[in-house]
Structure 1
Amino acid sequence: MTSNLFAKPYHYISEKQYFLVGSSIVRLAVGIHIMFTYLVYYFQRHDVWGIHSFVPADSNVHFFSLYTLNNSIVWFETIYILGILVNFLFLIGLKTNFITPINFLFVWSLYNENPFIMDGGNNILFIVLFFLMFANINEYFSVETKQDTNNKSKNIKNIFHNYAIFICLAQVCILYFFSGFFKAQGDMWQHGTALYYILNVDEFTLPSVAPYIINSPLLLFFGAYSSILMQLFFPFLVTNKYTKIITLFGSILFHLGIIFVMGLIQFGLIMIALDLLFITDKEYKKGRVIAKRTLSVIMKRSDTNVSQKTSTEI
């Protein structure tokens, strides 16, 4: 009886790999996130991470970093350029089983060389990128062609992949819950004024958008309480088949707001990708069918309208 109890879960995680579309989307988002950092700071790389950066090389904020192995400019340039190349290979999905651990090492080295430029997006990226080393992340949107493996090897890969993805999903749920939990304890969030103070900080404000929100008590109140409730109840709502999609839709809208209102592009990008990870492969395929059907109907109506207009003119 005990063997049967464990046989079913083992069969579930070893039978096949789940969330393959979502994990491939996360790979793309992580790769874009990292590439964005490399390229945006490219012309300031020496000031941010170099020998004469505003973080002294002998400071105690450093953990292990490839950049600290040698103090020469040539070494710094070599590691930086190699980091860009490795991340590009990761982004296009080439040999990810081999490339992902190397990319993790380069990214770890980059951010630990100067931890003061990191935001919440970098923190969750570290955690997710580590577990992606054990997952199949190039099944979709990849330049690499898949090769069949024997059943025993395939079962082991399935187990590693599924556990890695489930841990990532659990991490996102924990992140959302405690984010909402600690927000709910803050006076400014309880009073609905938190967004007012956030949007008055120049570093987290887009001047063209912020005034409309700051001058609207209703938007400030709605934004504060909706974010608390969405994050606090996210783990429960996203695991319910009836509330899952609407919860993910609301979360994506929330992070789009963070991107366009607060300007936190990288943080919003990685969180949206992690939201999309919760959608199963079956749901993605169903959505694709619905989208193609809808597009077909729109095209037919468009052709009909054009034909009617042409016949009327004749």
Structure 2
Amino acid sequence: MPTEHQPRAPHPRSQSSQRTTGASRQRALEQLGALRTTLTGRVVSPYAAAALRIGYGFLYLVFLLREFPHRDEIWGPGSPWTPALAAELFSQTGWSSILTLSDSRPYFEACYALALVASALYMLGWRTRVLSVIFAVVVASFHSRAIFMTDGGDNLILLMAVYLCFTACGRRWSLDARRVRIRVSADQAGQPSTNRRTSNSLSQLSSARQHLTTVMHNCAMLVIAAQVCLLYGSAGLYKVQGSYWDNGTALHYVLNLGLFRPWPALSLMVDRHQMLVVIASYLTVLLQVALPFVLFSRAKYVVLTMLLGMHLGIAVLMGLPLFSGAMVIADAVFLPDRFYAFLGRAWRSTSPTAACREAGPAPPQTPLVPNQPESPDRSRTEAGSEAHRRPANGPGSPP
């Protein structure tokens, strides 16, 4: 008689592969959940965002002050690159600038004053939401007005100014943060607050706004970090393809270019040490290529320190302080918040004003008011309890 086929038992190897696949899927889901929590749960690197805001605001303010005597020849009506030529170029490139809206000198001076004030207030963190947009518009306008006089530092400042518009860069080290801290202290002290109880719909709207702000900030900080990694990685890989960087003579030719020799004697002194020039050439390429690969290890602190020395050398030997400053500030995005918190604690410990502010005023002492004499119609029980509460041998106390 024909017999029915018995179901085959699953092969042990197939069971093992299924368990491995399930574990991998579970790990992937957990990583996605952790990434979602990181992007939406809290604002990441608020101190780094504040450092970028302060750094680029200060750098652009110094740049505008340095070029103040030459502002008319660079961006004003007296520039060889006239507003008409700039407008013709804008029609081809799609750029725009508030400086080309009028050819009058008072309008240009007003725009320059606006740029100075906006850079200063942006650095201080006053109304950062609005000032970040104004600062980005100012940087883009001055950048596009004299596009042929810009370099890599100007391009980086423009990119960072646009990216920082989407960050919560005013939550730390700013006048906005100080105003919020004072308001919270007033509420905790029991002072009357001007905020009234909002409805449920307004509360939900506020929660959605905070959620959107957190997501935008975290994504913008991720884009900033990726931009810096791309900048270093592409620069290092581009150098690898060149024969001068391959044989270690690139810095020798750079030190002998008249355009990049603000201190000829210093450049010649450095160029005499041939072995040092060769090591610096190879080390430059190695550091730029290595930075994206060491961000999640402690080796990044060594690389960032050496990159800081490299940029200081570029600023002094090649006369590019704006470019070096922009790169050094951009590297601050990779430093953790605990580093900036340590800097804050060190500043508070060394600053006598901050120490006094942290100590706060002395607690008020209870005034010594004499006890009132007992009322004749007070009961014995109340009189006895009052006697226990009075200080010994005080006024009105029993003998």
TM-score, structure 1 normalization: 0.86
Quick one: which of 139, 143, 147 aligns to 1:111? 143
Question: What letter matches 1:99 in structure 2?
Answer: L
The answer as to 2:134 corresponding to 1:77 is: no
Pairs within 5 Å for 1:162-311: 162-205=218-261, 206-237=263-294, 239-285=295-341
1:273: Cα distance to partner? 1.2
Quick one: which of 190, 212, 216 aligns to 1:160? 216
Q: What's the secondary structure of 1:209's corresponding residue? A: helix
Larger radius of gyration: 2
* Identical pairs, percent: 25
Tell me, yes or no, if the aligned pair for 2:139 and 2:161 is still in contact at 8 Å.
no
1:83: Cα distance to partner? 1.4
In the alignment, the residues of structure 2 paired with residue 268 and residue 25 of structure 1 have an alpha-carbon distance, to the nearest angstrom, of 16
The answer as to 2:185 corresponding to 1:128 is: no
Q: What's the secondary structure of 2:173's corresponding residue? A: coil
1:286: Cα distance to partner? 5.0
User: Structure 1's 201 and 193: CA in aligned 2 closer, same or farther, altered over 3 A?
Assistant: same
1:259: Cα distance to partner? 1.4
1:143: Cα distance to partner? 2.1
Quick one: which of 123, 145, 150 aligns to 1:91? 123
Greater mean deviation of Cα atoms: 263-272 or 147-156: 147-156
User: Structure 1's 146 and 282: CA in aligned 2 closer, same or farther, altered over 3 A?
Assistant: farther
Quick one: which of 48, 59, 67 aligns to 1:33? 59
- List runs of 5+ in structure 2 lacking aligned partners: 1-25, 185-202, 351-399
Cα deviation code 1:185-224 (max 9, x no counterpart): 1111112111111112233222242112211111110111
- 2:74 aligns with 48
CA RMSD, Structure 1 to Structure 2 (Å): 2.3
- List runs of 5+ in structure 1 lacking aligned partners: 296-314
User: Structure 1's 82 and 287: CA in aligned 2 closer, same or farther, altered over 3 A?
Assistant: closer
Question: What letter matches 1:24 in structure 2?
Answer: A
1:93: Cα distance to partner? 0.9
1:4: Cα distance to partner? 6.2
Q: What's the secondary structure of 1:58's corresponding residue? A: helix
1:260: Cα distance to partner? 1.8
Alignment: residue pair count: 292
- 2:187 aligns with none
Tell me, yes or no, if the aligned pair for 1:19 and 1:278 is still in contact at 8 Å.
no
Query: Which gives a bigger RCO, structure 1 or 2 (Cα 8 Å, sep 6+)?
Result: 1
In the alignment, the residues of structure 2 paired with residue 223 and residue 179 of structure 1 have an alpha-carbon distance, to the nearest angstrom, of 15
In the alignment, the residues of structure 2 paired with residue 118 and residue 274 of structure 1 have an alpha-carbon distance, to the nearest angstrom, of 18
Question: What letter matches 2:316 in structure 1?
Answer: F
In the alignment, the residues of structure 2 paired with residue 45 and residue 124 of structure 1 have an alpha-carbon distance, to the nearest angstrom, of 21
In the alignment, the residues of structure 1 paired with residue 82 and residue 75 of structure 2 have an alpha-carbon distance, to the nearest angstrom, of 9
- 1:299 aligns with none
Greater mean deviation of Cα atoms: 60-69 or 260-269: 60-69
TM-score, structure 2 normalization: 0.68
1:283: Cα distance to partner? 3.6
In the alignment, the residues of structure 2 paired with residue 146 and residue 13 of structure 1 have an alpha-carbon distance, to the nearest angstrom, of 26
